[in-house]
Amino acid sequence: MGRLHATSYQRLPSRFPELGIRPRLVVAADPIEENQQAAVEQFGVERAVASIEEVLADPEVEALSICAPNFLHRDFAVAAARAGKPFWIEKPMGVSAAQSREIHDAAATARGGAGVATAVGFNYRHAPAVAHLRAMIAEGRLGRITNVRCWLIADYASSPDGPLTWRYDRDKGGSGVIGDLLSHGADLVQHVTGQRLTEVTATSDTFIPERPLPTTVGVGHGGFEIGDERGPVQNEDWVAALGTLSGGAHATLESSRVARGHRSDYALEVFGTEGSARWSFTRMNEFEVMLGEGGTEHGFTTVLAAAGHGEYSRFQPSPGIPMSFDDLKTIEAAAFLSDVVHGTRLAPSAADGLSAAEICEAVVRSAASRAWESVPQT
């Protein structure tokens, strides 16, 4: 993710020229020397160091990205806020709702109460098709929203021989796939409908209870060597939840990291009294919509992404040309730095990160209590 943040900043002058922002990548922090070298040689960062303290102490650093493993987010973000530096932080914001609240509050009260700008990595919001669905719903074109289905199903952890990295440790990774993927779903559902999840009921499971311990360090899910010794997986592989939205609509959410064959199947369907719409990340550059009754052509129409849908026209010259995941991150970088420089508050912010964290924690509580749990509103 750090690599993607770096390239996203670099693309701003060409994609969002009107912002007048030409980011300088002053310093990267990573304890692994090889990653430091990559930051400088491949990603155009001026220098690289082992620890974030040097980044925070550098007066030339005016804003930073936090892309470290989840358990480091709270300390890094709170330290950034105390140093008066705005930050773009990856999701899940903290490993718990309490940590996410600390991050949110530190940012809100920084600089003597003026606060610092924040952004959170809820990148699926920025897909032009998703932006357009949100606009259609806000205009009432689907009528009253009755229910939403959202799932983020993947198989990045489906091999039982996948190494026991920080992601499977409750203290380091938090609530497994709930914080990792369901947090995106919680944010998407709220963002697209304009309603808040107020209560949830859920069930969850861990299908692969043990994994081999890595014997080397690596990045992401791969690049590690493993030994014969195994250790316990401490957090969730799969979760399904029902939710109630503040406007009276219902939501169903599901996430898995072990759904073999589903590489990154992230999808959203919204149903209203006047129509339905759906979007899937596997076909990011289109959405399907059904409005009214439709007569003999009753059914979904596929619409390809085009100018007029979110930020599409900044990236592609004519309709139907695919955009990529990287482009979503460039849009997020623009929203973040626009807030930092111009105070425009466009990005999903720490407030959104906290809201998603409260939903995820209510899901964890419900899976344990087997009861409906209310979601504290932020």
Ligand X SMILES: NC(=O)c1ccc[n+]([C@@H]2O[C@H](COP(=O)([O-])OP(=O)(O)OC[C@H]3O[C@@H](n4cnc5c(N)ncnc54)[C@H](O)[C@@H]3O)[C@@H](O)[C@H]2O)c1
31 binds ligand X (CB under 6 A): yes
Place of tokens 């303290």: 53
Stretch in the footprint of ligand X (CB under 6 A) among 23-31, 96-104, 132-140, 247-255: 23-31
Q: How many residues does the chain have?
A: 378
Distances (CA, A) of 36 to 3, 40, 47, 197, 344: 11, 7, 8, 41, 33
The answer to whether 358 and 190 are in contact (CB under 8 A) is no
- List the structure tokens of 136: 């259609």
169 binds ligand X (CB under 6 A): no
- List the structure tokens of 366: 């419900």
Question: What would the x/- binding string for ligand X be over residues 254 to 293, using CB under 6 A?
Answer: ----------------------------------------
Q: Which among 288, 283, 313 is positioned nearest to 303, based on CA atoms?
A: 288
H runs (alpha helix) in 163-214: 170-173, 177, 183-193
For the chain, helix, strand, coil in percent to 5 are: 40, 25, 35
Identify the residue among 32, 98, 138, 368 touching ligand X (CB under 6 A): 32
311 binds ligand X (CB under 6 A): no
Size of site (CB under 6 A) for ligand X = 20
Q: Smallest gap, in angstroms, from Cβ of residue 321 to ligand X?
A: 23
373 binds ligand X (CB under 6 A): no
Helix axes 2-15, 325-342, angle to 10 degrees: 70
123 binds ligand X (CB under 6 A): yes
Identify the residue among 74, 91, 132, 365 touching ligand X (CB under 6 A): 91
Q: Smallest gap, in angstroms, from Cβ of residue 32 to ligand X?
A: 4
Q: Smallest gap, in angstroms, from Cβ of residue 106 to ligand X?
A: 17
64 binds ligand X (CB under 6 A): no
Identify the residue among 35, 96, 118, 256 touching ligand X (CB under 6 A): 35
Distances (CA, A) of 192 to 134, 207, 210, 251, 317: 4, 31, 37, 12, 26
- Count the Cβ atoms, other than its own, within 10 Å of residue 20: 10
The rounded distance, in Å, linking the Cα atoms of 272 and 291 is 9
Identify the residue among 21, 26, 40, 72 touching ligand X (CB under 6 A): 72
Identify the residue among 121, 162, 185, 212 touching ligand X (CB under 6 A): 121
Residue 344 sits at φ, ψ, to 5 deg, of: -90, -10
The answer to whether 239 and 258 are in contact (CB under 8 A) is no
Stretch in the footprint of ligand X (CB under 6 A) among 12-20, 63-71, 204-212, 365-373: 63-71
Q: How far is CA 74 from the centre of its chain?
A: 16
341's enclosing H/E stretch is: helix 325-342
Identify the residue among 49, 135, 219, 291 touching ligand X (CB under 6 A): 219
Q: Nearer to ligand X by C-beta: 167 or 373?
A: 167
Q: Nearer to ligand X by C-beta: 3 or 111?
A: 3
The answer to whether 173 and 232 are in contact (CB under 8 A) is no
Q: Smallest gap, in angstroms, from Cβ of residue 335 to ligand X?
A: 14
Q: Smallest gap, in angstroms, from Cβ of residue 29 to ligand X?
A: 5
Q: Smallest gap, in angstroms, from Cβ of residue 308 to ligand X?
A: 25
Identify the residue among 8, 16, 25, 30 touching ligand X (CB under 6 A): 30
Interface contacts to ligand X, rule CB under 6 A = 1-2, 29-32, 35, 52, 67-70, 72, 90-91, 121, 123, 180, 219-220
